[in-house]
């Protein structure tokens, strides 16, 4: 176990630590340390292209996740309410975008959008990202629905609740954690996608991963290190808030008991 932990630490966390350290390097060369400096963070905030790419990535991820929630949740609910012989086959087909290599999906989207005559840009990006985000939400929600107690819905209907009230007050609270889990996975996959985005984006729309990828071709700059450090800080902050809220929730349940 010790050897395993040591290998994982060396291969994963040490490169991340070096990225954070060299983001504060005064030198432009990552191999030379010239002293502590916030120069590259100032340069990062002045870079309008990176800022625009970040906004595009956030808009794209939010829109893709929103459509994925609507489609994936509706599909999972529909399949859980009506049992058919082809349910397993439909569920398998629904998860295919996760298993198909991204380069194949990218070429397929490129061909389809070209045949349809759609202008490449934010619209094609949203369609493509929604397609591979739906399976994450669908899989999570469907797994949660399998373990749900249907007697609660039947009891609510017997007490006079409408179908909408049953969904809002009984079903939604139970599947909400699964929806949030699917959204987090879908958001992460959409936000850092490079391969599919390159195939379906236009000359006027650039996402943050594409922008970073194109800049990396000329070498790693401390500005990219600063960007990675800030994104890592945001992720750690979100995780900390999530853990604190989770502990408070458990504490409140214990107090109620």
The count of C-alpha atoms lying within 13 angstroms of the C-alpha of 50, restricted to the half-sphere facing its C-beta, is 16
How high does pLDDT run on average in the chain? Answer: 83
Question: What's the pLDDT tens digit per position in 178-215?
Answer: 898 889 889 988 988 999 999 999 888 889 888 888 87
The three-class DSSP label of residue 6 is helix
What is the arithmetic mean of pLDDT over 223-227? 83
Question: CA-to-CA distance for 86 and 94, rounded, in angstroms?
Answer: 12
| DSSP code, position 36 | B
Determine the pLDDT at residue 114. Answer: 92
pTM of the complete model: 0.80
Question: CA-to-CA distance for 133 and 72, rounded, in angstroms?
Answer: 9
The three-class DSSP label of residue 100 is coil
Determine the pLDDT at residue 257. Answer: 58
What is the arithmetic mean of pLDDT over 92-100? 81
> In the predicted model, is pLDDT for residue 253 greater than 60?
no
Determine the pLDDT at residue 13. Answer: 81
Question: CA-to-CA distance for 19 and 232, rounded, in angstroms?
Answer: 10
Question: What's the pLDDT tens digit per position in 133-173?
Answer: 999 999 899 888 887 777 777 788 777 788 888 888 888 88
């Amino acid at each position: 176990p010790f050897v395993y932990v040591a290998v994982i630490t060396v291969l994963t966390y040490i490169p991340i630590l070096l990225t954070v350290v060299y983001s504060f390097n005064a030198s432009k060369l990552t191999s030379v340390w010239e002293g502590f400096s916030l120069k590259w963070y100032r340069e990062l905030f002045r870079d309008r292209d990176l800022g625009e790419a970040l906004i595009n990535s956030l808009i794209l991820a939010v829109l893709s996740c929103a459509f994925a929630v609507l489609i994936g949740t509706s599909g999972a609910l529909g399949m859980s309410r009506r049992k058919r012989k082809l349910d397993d086959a439909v569920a398998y087909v629904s998860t295919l975008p996760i298993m198909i290599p991204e380069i194949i999906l990218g070429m397929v989207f490129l061909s389809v959008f070209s045949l349809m005559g759609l202008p490449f840009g934010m619209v094609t990006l949203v369609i493509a990202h929604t397609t591979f985000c739906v399976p994450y939400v669908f899989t999570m929600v469907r797994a949660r629905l399998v373990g749900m107690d249907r007697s609660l819905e039947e009891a609510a209907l017997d007490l006079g609740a409408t179908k909408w009230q049953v969904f809002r007050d009984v079903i939604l609270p139970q599947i909400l954690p699964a929806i949030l889990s699917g959204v987090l996975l879908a958001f992460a996959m959409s936000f850092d996608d490079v391969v599919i985005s390159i195939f379906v984006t236009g000359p006027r729309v650039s996402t943050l991963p594409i922008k970073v990828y194109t800049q990396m071709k000329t070498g790693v700059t401390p500005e990219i290190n600063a960007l990675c450090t800030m994104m890592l800080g945001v992720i750690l902050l979100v995780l900390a808030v999530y853990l604190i809220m989770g502990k408070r929730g458990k504490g409140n349940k214990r107090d109620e008991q």
